Amino acid sequence: MVSPFDSAHDRLVEACCQCFNSLLVLNISLGEKGSSQKGESMTAQLKLRRVLWFSSLPVVLLLLGSAGAQQLPRSVNIGANPPGSLFYSLASGVAKVVSEAAPFRAQAQPYAGSSTFLPLIDSGELDFGIVNAVDMALAYQGPKRLKIGGRNPLPHVPNVRLIMRGSPLRSSLIVRKDSPIKTVRDVKGKRVTGEYPAQLAVWYNVFGSLANGGLTWNDVKVVPVPAVNEGLDALVQGRADVTTHAIGSAKVKEADAAVGIRYISLDCSPQGEERIKKAVPGYYLSTVKGGSSSGIVEDICAYTYDIYLVGHKALPDAVVQSALKAVWDNIPKLPPLHPAFREWSRERAVDPEVTLAYHPAVVSFYKEKGVWSAKMDEAQRKLLAVNP
């Protein structure tokens, strides 16, 4: 956190005060001496007092300037999901780059999930975090303003701001390789994994995929599972016809080796994209090339959502810009740290469809880099109207 380093700033401000007090005492002393020594020239005394005062003023201003410059912390923390998760790997990668290029160190700080650490960012107890766009939409809007499929389990965090839009996450629905299901519309009436009480984000994945095909949970036979891995187990064991899982995961590779699996394509028409965006704010569609990963037997249209680097809105500008500059200047160093960084780029940093407002310090940074447009001003204005 930034605040523990404020003591240095306080000490410098105290030094400035002491300097002013010393000048005041000297001024009074000279005045008293002048009144008791009638033969001494009053003009000479006034000149001396002015010289002392104005010659000391630059020193005081320098101290005050130094006090402001010293507000950078020794270290910052980046909140993320538990070790072993994708988001922890990404937080660790960002922390490494920031530590090497910024005037402070950064480290990944694991938590049970975004619902745990987002309130800490909101209160200023945690500096930064790695989250997904959908969780951020739910938390930024709050349960009273936004629910997805009638649900919003995340706490309202009005003080969190976006620092940088990162890589996209992509996936789609999965069936057995020999399944007759070819498109999302073919899922109607089939056994689909659902509920996901231990991993609600996956419930949104399936909910959004169904909505993309004009379907709801009422159009399928729900097979209750606690989390994403159990959903894939249900498919492999023949208890479900359709499930979902992250593209390229080890679990998907195991399932493909065991029974053969296939990702199906969603509806990439403008109408299909409109339906999924309406169902799950933060989702959009993109293409995954055939043969690029296990189960991608042909080009497919996949649900897609973004990874964000976020921070508290009152995080000092110098801290925010130092961290952002470190990442911005060292983008090529990210992909070797994890494959998910391959699409973490300068071109993706700014987008008008993000789900929360940007930090004011990054707005000026992006404007200097020429990537902030008038369209972004309008998007920022609308998002700030939600949480000023």
Residue 1: its pLDDT value, please? Answer: 52
Helix or strand holding residue 308 (H, E): strand 300-312
Residue 13 has φ and ψ, to the nearest 5°, of -65, -40
Using CA atoms, how far residue 282 sits from 163, 209, 351, in Å, is 16, 13, 11
| Six-digit token string for 373 | 């447009």
Residue 190: its pLDDT value, please? Answer: 98
Q: What share of the chain is helix, strand, coil (3-state, %, to 5)?
A: 50, 20, 30
| Six-digit token string for 17 | 């005060």
Cα distance between residue 362 and residue 299, in whole Å = 36
Cα distance between residue 380 and residue 375, in whole Å = 9
| Six-digit token string for 352 | 């008008």
Question: Which residue in 319, 247, 229 sits closest to 289, CA to CA?
Answer: 247
Quick one: angle between helices 270-279 and 200-212, nearest 10?
150
Residue 112: its pLDDT value, please? Answer: 82
pLDDT per residue as tens, the chain (388 positions): 544 334 334 443 444 445 444 444 444 444 444 444 444 444 545 454 454 445 444 444 444 444 444 478 999 999 998 887 788 999 999 999 999 999 999 999 999 888 889 999 999 999 999 999 999 999 999 999 999 999 998 899 999 999 999 999 999 999 999 999 999 999 999 999 999 887 888 899 999 999 999 999 999 999 999 988 899 999 999 999 999 998 888 899 999 999 999 999 999 999 999 999 999 988 999 999 999 999 999 999 999 999 999 999 999 999 999 999 999 999 999 999 998 899 999 999 999 999 999 999 999 999 999 999 999 999 999 999 999 9
Q: What is the model's pTM?
A: 0.74
State the DSSP string of 357-380: PBPHHHHHHHHHTT---HHHHHHH
Residue 119: its pLDDT value, please? Answer: 95
Residue 29: its pLDDT value, please? Answer: 47
CATH fold group of domain 75-168+307-386: D-Maltodextrin-Binding Protein; domain 2 (3.40.190)
Q: Please give the distance of CA 252 from its chain centroid, rounded to a whole number.
A: 27
340, 86 Cβ separation under 8 angstroms: yes
| Six-digit token string for 115 | 């619902």
Q: Which CATH architecture has domain 171-304?
A: 3-Layer(aba) Sandwich (3.40)
220, 192 Cβ separation under 8 angstroms: yes
* Interior angle at CA 336, CA 333 and CA 339, nearest 5: 120
| Six-digit token string for 170 | 């992509």
Can you give 67-114 as a three-state secondary structure string?
HHHCCCCCEEEEEECCCCCHHHHHHHHHHHHHHHHCCCEEEEEECCCH
Residue 76: its pLDDT value, please? Answer: 97
